[in-house]
Amino acid sequence: MHHLVALLLDHGALIIFAVTLAARVGAPVPASPLLVVAGSLVLAGQMSMAAALGTSIAANVIGDGAWFIAGRRYGYRVMRQLCRISLSPDSCVHQGESLITRWGGGSLIAAKFVPGVSVIAAPMAGALGMSTARFLAYEIVAAVVWTLACMALGMIFSDQIQQIFDVMASTGSLATVVLVLVLAALLAVRYWQRRRFLRELDIPRIGVDELHALMERGEAPLIIDVRSDASTQVDARRIPGAISVQLRDMHAHGADLSPDREIVLYCNCPNEVSAARGAAVLAARGLVRARPLAGGLDAWVASGQPTEAVSIAPPATPGEREQPA
């Protein structure tokens, strides 16, 4: 830890910029703790407040701006790739959708403090059509709020941080070993939780070829599109004949279905998690022939199968909902 402090004292602005930029593009680096330490050093007069704040804001805008442009150009493909490297990929897209559609531009501020969602808020805003000017305005405010919040913690707990430094210095390498073990344990717990969750949703899938063959023979099952409104707004294609039923309505919708009906559910999320959840809900109601589509809508499109447009009125984009006063 003293090495970190020494680096901050010698190359403070550069270190803050590099680590914060890496965090904004998705690298698992400790940007928030770094700014907490920087706040403590600012209070002690060992670092410039303007330099720390300015470099953090610049790194946030550059990193999130790149993802915003990628989201504008490539849509949900960007979010899915980002979520695949997350320890919680199965809820990553859904949480990002909920945050953006509920809070609009303000979600860029909230997302800075939500692990697993902060990186995908910017591409989600781009995919949902937020204007560049509005994105930049909210992004700068978000960067200022997040940076000042982290540095304020360092200033408030400056004495305690110094005590931690002293303890770590006195214990030498033992403190480093303990810290590494704690971090490894946390990662192991998160990984185990994810594997357990995936095992719970390890139900049989139906492949694209099998579904297409059923449709060709006139034996098409009931096809359910479980994507959210925001997801459908970004990609308005769907499998021909599919009906839209969101997860929150799945239990009630299952009451009207025959237990002998073949049902296929699909989404465009990692691990087909939303479709698998929907199938599990239907199975609990006795509809045991419900299966997720392996690979979801992406696999269907990639195989060259036809699609049709979703005929729904798209919800207002974040930029449309938030007109300036």
DSSP 42-99: HHTTSS-HHHHHHHHHHHHHHHHHHHHHHHHHHTHHHHHHHHHTSS-HHHHHHHHHHH
Q: Is the pTM of this model over 0.85?
A: no
pLDDT in tens, 172-219: 566 567 667 776 786 777 677 667 766 766 789 999 999 999 998 888
Q: Are strands 222-225 and 263-266 parallel, antiparallel or unpaired?
A: parallel
What whole-number percentage of the chain has pLDDT above 90?
34
Please check the confidence at residue 320 and state whether its pLDDT lies above 50.
Answer: no
Q: What does the longest C-alpha to C-alpha distance in the chain come to? A: 76
pLDDT band at 150 (very low <50, low <70, confident <90, very high): very high
Average pLDDT value for residue range 131-145? 94
46-50, 80-84, 163-167 — most confident range:
46-50
Please tell me the number of Cα atoms within 13 Å of 278 on its side-chain side. 31
pLDDT band at 89 (very low <50, low <70, confident <90, very high): low
Domains, the chain, with CATH or none = 2-200 (no CATH), 208-318 (3.40.250.10)
pLDDT at site 105: 75
Place of tokens 């004495």: 159
pLDDT band at 291 (very low <50, low <70, confident <90, very high): very high
Please check the confidence at residue 34 and state whether its pLDDT lies above 90.
Answer: no
> Is-contact 263 276, C-beta < 8 A?
no
pLDDT at site 78: 76
> Is-contact 275 206, C-beta < 8 A?
no
Average pLDDT value for residue range 274-278? 89
pLDDT band at 325 (very low <50, low <70, confident <90, very high): very low
Segment among 58-72, 140-154, 166-180 with least mean pLDDT: 166-180
Average pLDDT value for residue range 79-98? 62
Distance CA 80, CA 82 (A): 5
How many C-beta atoms lie closer than 10 Å to residue 139's C-beta?
A: 24
Please check the confidence at residue 87 and state whether its pLDDT lies above 80.
Answer: no
Please check the confidence at residue 324 and state whether its pLDDT lies above 60.
Answer: no
Mean pLDDT for the chain? 81
Place of tokens 């990639």: 302
If you compute the radius of gyration of the chain from its CA atoms, what whole number of angstroms results? 24
Segment among 18-27, 46-55, 108-117 with least mean pLDDT: 108-117
Question: Which of 272 and 134 is assigned the larger pLDDT?
Answer: 134
Average pLDDT value for residue range 36-41? 88
Please check the confidence at residue 143 and state whether its pLDDT lies above 90.
Answer: yes
pLDDT in tens, 215-239: 988 887 999 999 887 778 778 899 9
What whole-number percentage of the chain has pLDDT above 70?
75
Name the β-bridge partners of 206: 293
pLDDT at site 248: 85
Average pLDDT value for residue range 239-254? 90
Collect all residues with Cβ–Cβ distance below 8 Å to 221 and sequence separation of at least 6. 211, 214, 261, 262, 263, 264, 289
Q: Are strands 290-292 and 263-266 parallel, antiparallel or unpaired?
A: parallel
Q: Which three-class secondary structure state does DSSP give residue 169?
A: helix
